[in-house]
Amino acid sequence: MTASGNSFKRPREVTFDRLHTFHGGLRLPGHREITANRPIGKVDIPPLLTIPLQQHIGNPGKCLVKPGDTVYKGQVLAEAPGRFSVPAHASSSGTVIAVEERLIPHPSGIKENCVVIETDGRDRGADQQQDAIDYLQIEPARLCELIQQAGIVGMGGAGFPTQIKLCSPKQHIELLLINAAECEPYISCDNRLLQERATEVVEGIRIMRHGVQPDACIIAIEDNMQAAEEALRAALDAVNETGITITRVPEIYPSGGERQLIRILTGREVPGQGYPADIGIVCQNVGTAAAVYHAVSKRQPLISRIVTVTGEGIAQPQNFECLLGTPVSQLVSAAGGYTKDVERLLIGGPMMGYAVQNDNIPVIKTTNCILAVSREEMPAPPPAQPCIRCAKCTDVCPADLLPQQLYWYASSNNYDAAQDYNLFDCIECGCCAYVCPSHIPLVQYYRHAKTEIWTQEAQKQAADIARRRHESRLSRLQRIKQQRADRMARKKQALAGDDGGKDAKKSAIQAALDRVKHKKEQTSSTPKNTDNLTAEQQRLIAEADVRRQQKQSGNNN
């Protein structure tokens, strides 16, 4: 599917040749060497797959299957209900045994609707031949349809539907930025992906570039990822691609954050509550690029991903490719199981990850790391102490916020004031909590405040909908009542007008009496069919007619 040569023509020359800095950030120990230097392992098909209907930011999918249905690898289990959503697919073949709420990876330990598949071990795909696609011959809008149909979302952790980023911008895009800056400690899944499958990533980037039509395309990679960078350059040289450049960025956490990376490369700030497209930039993860390649060139939906399984609580840390819906416990077993030193299990890295109570939860599209830590590796924080206003949190905040003020308002449930201090610009990187000498779990307060605000907004919207529905009903009833009153008024006016009202009323009454009389005459003059009656019945009818005629004659006299 590769396009020969430098097939993409840039509209104009745009260069981003100077690195900038962002406010704050931390230099943290990496702990990536073990997993980054070991090849990607494979995980067997699990006996049970648990596929949540929502694995992304946006609206959950609409379930299309029921218990007892046979499903095949790649089959759509839940369709996207709108543009801001993606479908969910079966990761392997088997039988649906349940559609119910089950635990999913989430900081609050909530349950969501899931399709549970008992796999048959045969990994059968649907018998449908998909024609190969030359992405250079189709319109960008069609590319976005294919990407949405494949269920692709951001693989860097946020899970934003990819087609929204690629196709929403109405303005011209100057830069397509590919994020290979894997800045959080322990996580190396993107690093290993680039080392082993750089060609897939490059082809996915070229597909996205055709869809976005930017002026420039940059792959941003951390300066400590030499092996990955070499593999990328070799893949670009293999297709003679000169329209994609590689730029090294310093290993500072969180340089891999979308807004921070844009700041480093361009010096531009993404507006608060805005998007990179607002300043002419689209940012995608390298894992997302590989998924786009499979979706367009091989017509394969997103049904697997690479996950880093690491920490001192893991016997043999390694990156694994596994099917979506695979239990976390099976990945831990593939990595040799837990060590005796394991203390806590986290989904994600040590900074932005969250602890889970058990490993009976599935891998989803945004699961990039399973971290089992020991007590010495990540000690439990001591009890929080009062804030001493040292301002260390402000110094390290990469979003240039005032974490101390946000904490005061979030802890006192003053959510309006928290929003005045740009609460939703917080990326929850954890830098503030990391340096806090009082050991205050600041990010937890921010997450709670955001959740409460979202809940209140949802309740307000529901109340507004109910109010509008009630007002609409009252308006409809009033309209019907008014229409009835108008009809009665027109009738009264017709019967009792200002001039000749009594005559009009008498005329109406007389017309009604004439209609009744005419109907009676028609009834009496209608000949009766007596052919089928007996002689006695005919005689009785004749006598009755004579009596009726005599009576009418007497009344006339």
**pLDDT > 80? residue 535:** no
Looking at the structure of the chain, the number of domains it has is: 2
Q: What is the CATH number of the domain that holds 342?
A: 3.40.50.11540
Res 521: pLDDT: 73
- Angle (CA) 223 229 233, round 5°: 140
**Residue that terminates a domain, selected from 495, 519, 534:** 495
Rg (CA), the chain: 37
The pLDDT confidence band at residue 532, using thresholds 50, 70 and 90, is: low
Q: What is the mean pLDDT of residues 177-182?
A: 93
Based on the fold, state whether residues 53 and 188 are members of the same structural domain: yes
**Residue that terminates a domain, selected from 369, 394, 422:** 369
Residue 542 lies in a domain: no
Question: pLDDT tens, 93-145?
Answer: 999 999 999 999 988 888 899 999 999 999 998 766 666 678 888 888 888 89
Q: What is the mean pLDDT of residues 418-441?
A: 94
Based on the fold, state whether residues 388 and 313 are members of the same structural domain: no
Residue 192 lies in a domain: yes
Based on the fold, state whether residues 354 and 467 are members of the same structural domain: no
CA atoms of 87 and 78, how far apart (whole Å): 5
**Residue that terminates a domain, selected from 308, 341, 369:** 369
Residue with more model confidence, 515 or 366 = 366
Res 107: pLDDT: 84
For 119-137, give the DSSP string: E-SS-PBPS-------GGG
CA atoms of 311 and 336, how far apart (whole Å): 12
Q: Among candidates 198, 194, 168, which has minimal Cα distance to 181?
A: 194
Burial environment of residue 255 by CB neighbours within 10 A (0 to 12, 13 to 18, 19 or more): buried
Residue 549 lies in a domain: no
E strand map for 295-407 = 304-310, 318-323, 342-347, 354-356, 369-374
Based on the fold, state whether residues 324 and 421 are members of the same structural domain: no
Whether the ω angle into residue 81 lies within 30 degrees of 0, i.e. cis, is no
Q: What is the mean pLDDT of residues 515-534?
A: 65
For 436-470, give the DSSP string: -TT---HHHHHHHHHHHHHHHHHHHHHHHHHHHHH
Res 550: pLDDT: 67
Res 14: pLDDT: 55
Res 8: pLDDT: 45
Based on the fold, state whether residues 185 and 231 are members of the same structural domain: yes
For residue 125, the cross-strand partners are 73
Based on the fold, state whether residues 192 and 235 are members of the same structural domain: yes
Q: What is the CATH number of the domain that holds 392?
A: 1.10.1060
Based on the fold, state whether residues 177 and 231 are members of the same structural domain: yes
Question: pLDDT tens, 20-57?
Answer: 999 999 999 989 999 999 999 999 999 999 999 988 88
Burial environment of residue 53 by CB neighbours within 10 A (0 to 12, 13 to 18, 19 or more): buried
Q: Enter the tokens of residue 360.
A: 């009976």
The pLDDT confidence band at residue 1, using thresholds 50, 70 and 90, is: very low
Question: pLDDT tens, 206-227?
Answer: 999 998 989 999 999 999 999 9
Based on the fold, state whether residues 206 and 72 are members of the same structural domain: yes
Single-letter amino acid code for the residue at 178: I
Based on the fold, state whether residues 434 and 294 are members of the same structural domain: no
The 10 Å Cβ neighbour count of residue 407 is 23
Based on the fold, state whether residues 347 and 386 are members of the same structural domain: no
**pLDDT > 60? residue 531:** no
- On average, the pLDDT of the chain sits at 88
Based on the fold, state whether residues 72 and 168 are members of the same structural domain: yes
Domain span holding position 466: 382-495
Residue 547 lies in a domain: no
Residue 536 lies in a domain: no
CA atoms of 46 and 125, how far apart (whole Å): 17
Residue 523 lies in a domain: no
Residue 529 lies in a domain: no
Residue 528 lies in a domain: no
Q: Among candidates 426, 427, 409, 408, which has minimal Cα distance to 418?
A: 409
Based on the fold, state whether residues 206 and 181 are members of the same structural domain: yes
Question: pLDDT tens, 263-303?
Answer: 999 999 998 888 898 899 999 999 999 999 999 988 899 99
Span of 244-258, 292-306, 328-342, 539-553 with lowest mean pLDDT: 539-553
